[in-house]
Amino acid sequence: MADHPLATGASTAIAASPVATAATGGIGGTQGVQGATPPTAGIDARFAVAYAGFRLDVDLRLPGRGVTALFGHSGSGKTTLLRCVAGLEPAARGRLVVNGECWQDDARRILVPTHRRELGYVFQEASLFPHLTVRRNLEFGLRRIPAAARRVQLDHAVALLGIEALLERMPDRLSGGERQRVGMARALLTSPRILLMDEPLAALDHRRKQEILPYLERLHDELDIPVLYVSHSPDEVVRLADHVVMLGEGRVMAAGELHATMARLDLPTAFTEDAGVVIDGTVAVHDDHYHLTRLDFPGGAVWVQRQQVDLGRRLRFRIHARDVSLADHQVEGSSIQNLLPATVTEVVGADSPAHVLVGLDAGGTALIARITRRAAEQLVLRPGRRMWAQIKSVALLG
C-alpha cells in the first residue's frame, strides 16, 4: 500500500489538476496519465457547470477503490460534483469514465441516463419512499437489476447495516439514524460499481453520528468498490477517507492520498485549529502494568492509553500540530514520553504572526509542529536540521 505519507505523487493513483492551470491547456493538468493507455481502474471526471452565481470546473482522476472524500465548505461545489457523477445535473458538460465505463462524453455525444448507471447514491436526508415499508424500499432497486447482476443479497445488506428489526416498518416510524442506514442498504442492493454518499451524517446529531460511523467503517472494510464521500466535517474525512479532494468555490484546491494531503502546509486546512497529520499505526505492544498500548508506524512509535484491540490491528490516529513541540536534543526528565527524531522539511508562516508551522519527516512519517516564531529562530530551524519532536497528545480515531 502507498500509505507511506511522504511517498506522495510517485506511487499514488490520485492526481488532480487544479483547474487554475487551465491556461496550460489540456496538457498541464493531470499528472502522468495523459497520452498513455487509459487504465480501466479509476475515475476520470471532468465537469463544467454554471448556475447563477456559481460555477463548478473540475478535472479529476480518482482512484478506483477506497473512500475518496470530497471535502469543502458549503457552496464549494462538492455536492454538485457528486450529482454530476450520478447524472443528476443535466446542465453539466464534460466527460466521466468510471472504472472503464464511459458515462458521459460530450465530445462523443454520450450521456448515459442516471437509471442506466450502475451506481448507488445515499442522499443527505435518507429520502426513503414514504409509501413503502423498509423491506419494499430495499427491494425497490434490487428488483430492478437482473438476478445475475445481484452481487449483494438482501440478507447481507440488512446484516451489514443492522436493520433486521426494521424491515416491516414504515419510514416515518424510523429514527434519523435508522433511516440513513436503510438508505445505505438500499443503495448497496443495486450492486453498484461506485457508491456516492452526500453527507450521509450531516442531518444527524452527535449520538446518531457515532451510531452510524461504525457501519460506514464496516462498509469501507468490506466493499471493493470506490466510494465518493461528500463531507464538510474534517473528523469524518480523517476517520473514513483514503483519499481526499479539497474543493473551494467550484475548483479543486488539492487532491491526493489522505495522509499526504493532511500533512501539506500549503493548504487552508493547515491554518486551522485542527491542523495536524493522520497516521495509521499497528498495535504492537500492550503494557498492562502501565495500562498503555504502543502503536508502530514507519519511522517510529507512540504510546497511547491501553486499547481493547488485538495486536496487529491497524488504528488511525491524529497528531495535531498544536500538540507537537521541538527540541534540538533528546530531552531527559520530561513528562512527555512520546519522542521522535525528525528532520525539518519546511517552515512556513502560520495563521497568527506569532507562530510558524514546521513540516517534519520522522523516518518516513510526516508530522507538523506549530511553534512560536521566536522559538523557531532561536532553534535556527531550516530544512535538513535534525530535531526531536515531543508529542503531547495523540487523538485516536474510531
Note the residues at the interface with another protein (CB under 8 A).
86-88, 113-116, 119-121, 123, 127, 129-131, 140-141, 144-145, 170, 172-173, 186-187, 190
- Which single residue is written with the C-alpha cell 429514527? 175
Shortest distance (Å) from residue 376 CB to another protein: 51
User: In a 3-state reduction of DSSP, which class is residue 95?
Assistant: strand
In this complex, which beta carbon is closest to another protein, that of residue 5 or of residue 120? 120
Shortest distance (Å) from residue 118 CB to another protein: 8
Q: What angle do CA 67, 65, 138 make, to 5 degrees?
A: 70
In this complex, which beta carbon is closest to another protein, that of residue 127 or of residue 233? 127
- Of 202, 241, 184, 259, nearest in space to 69 by CA: 241
Shortest distance (Å) from residue 68 CB to another protein: 18
User: In a 3-state reduction of DSSP, which class is residue 362?
Assistant: strand
C-alpha distances out from residue 332 to 131, 301, 335, 361, 390, Å: 68, 18, 9, 22, 11
Shortest distance (Å) from residue 107 CB to another protein: 24
CA–CA dist 285, 251 (Å, integer): 44
- Of 371, 323, 327, 329, nearest in space to 347 by CA: 371
Question: Checking DSSP bridges between strand 355-362 and strand 314-320, what pairing results, if any?
Answer: unpaired
Shortest distance (Å) from residue 140 CB to another protein: 5
Shortest distance (Å) from residue 76 CB to another protein: 21
In this complex, which beta carbon is closest to another protein, that of residue 191 or of residue 345? 191
In this complex, which beta carbon is closest to another protein, that of residue 30 or of residue 124? 124
In this complex, which beta carbon is closest to another protein, that of residue 170 or of residue 292? 170
Residues near 337 by beta carbon (within 8 Å), at least 6 away in sequence: 303
In this complex, which beta carbon is closest to another protein, that of residue 189 or of residue 358? 189
Tell me the sheet residues that pair with 349. Answer: 356
